[in-house]
């Protein structure tokens, strides 16, 4: 429950960062989303074996676990540029005629993320269960149409695991 509470807090900070001044928005979004990924996925390390097994069957949880693994091992730690193209893009709505409710928002680029998942599967077949579940989750949400907004996907994941942890 502690890790879920932390993840919720970081998610709230992430959401509020979308309204930050343009010069700070990207930094805050990145820091809070990265922190959320670590906190959210660490939930599986804080529960009993039975609950851990249940979490590892939830597509949304495995989707964010795959994102955490990619961001940690292939983008952040590999070099400044990173091993892969970044699968998360941002919308900046500053300017004439733009909706300015949020100055910045993150969304998933499905094609880039799918390419990363396929590469990771070739290099590390031991991650097959996580990656395949993450790809199914991605396809499910992609089929609904529109942009895959990170905020919406996080809300889904939190709701999916809440009953197992709370």
* DSSP, residue by residue, 10-55: HHHHHHHHTTS-HHHHHHHHHHHHHHHHHHHHGGGGSS-HHHHHHH
Using CA of residue 82, residue 61, residue 147, residue 116, what is the dihedral sign?
A: positive
How far apart CA 145 and CA 151 sit, in angstroms, is 16
Query: Would you call 67 exposed, middle or buried from its count of C-beta atoms within 10 A (0-12, 13-18, 19+)?
Result: buried
Q: Print the domain residue range for 157.
A: 2-165
Query: Would you call 125 exposed, middle or buried from its count of C-beta atoms within 10 A (0-12, 13-18, 19+)?
Result: exposed
Q: Under DSSP, is residue 163 helix (H, G, I), strand (E, B) or coil?
A: helix
Residue, of 76 and 71, whose pLDDT is higher: 71
Q: Which residues pair with 148 in a beta bridge?
A: 108
Whole-model pTM: value is 0.85
Average pLDDT (111-132) is: 92
Q: Which two structure tokens, joined as six digits, stand for 138?
A: 């991605």
Residue 78 has pLDDT above 50, yes or no: no
Q: What is the pLDDT of residues 37-47, one digit of tens each?
A: 999 999 999 99
Structurally, how many domains does the chain consist of? 1
Q: What is the pLDDT of residues 135-163, one digit of tens each?
A: 999 999 999 988 899 999 999 999 999 99
Phi and psi at 46, nearest 5°, equal: -110, 5
pLDDT (0 to 100) of residue 42: 94
Query: Residue 73's pLDDT band (boundaries 50, 70, 90)?
Result: low
Assess contact for 29 and 113: CB atoms under 8 A.
no
């Amino acid at each position: 429950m502690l890790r879920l509470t932390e993840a919720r807090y970081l998610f709230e900070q992430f959401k509020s960062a979308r309204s930050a001044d343009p010069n700070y928005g990207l930094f805050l979004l990145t820091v809070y989303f990265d922190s959320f990924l670590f906190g959210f996925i660490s939930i599986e390390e804080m529960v009993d074996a039975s609950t851990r097994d249940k979490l590892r069957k939830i597509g949304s949880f495995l989707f964010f676990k795959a994102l955490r693994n990619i961001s940690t091992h292939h983008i952040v730690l590999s070099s400044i540029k990173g091993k892969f193209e970044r699968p998360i893009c941002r919308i900046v709505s500053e300017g004439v005629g733009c909706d300015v409710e949020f100055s910045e928002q993150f969304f998933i680029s499905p094609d880039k993320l799918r390419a990363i998942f396929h590469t990771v599967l070739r290099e590390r077949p031991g991650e097959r269960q996580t990656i395949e579940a993450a790809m199914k989750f991605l396809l499910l949400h992609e089929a609904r149409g529109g942009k895959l907004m990170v905020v919406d996907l996080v809300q889904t994941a939190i709701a999916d695991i809440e009953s197992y942890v709370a």
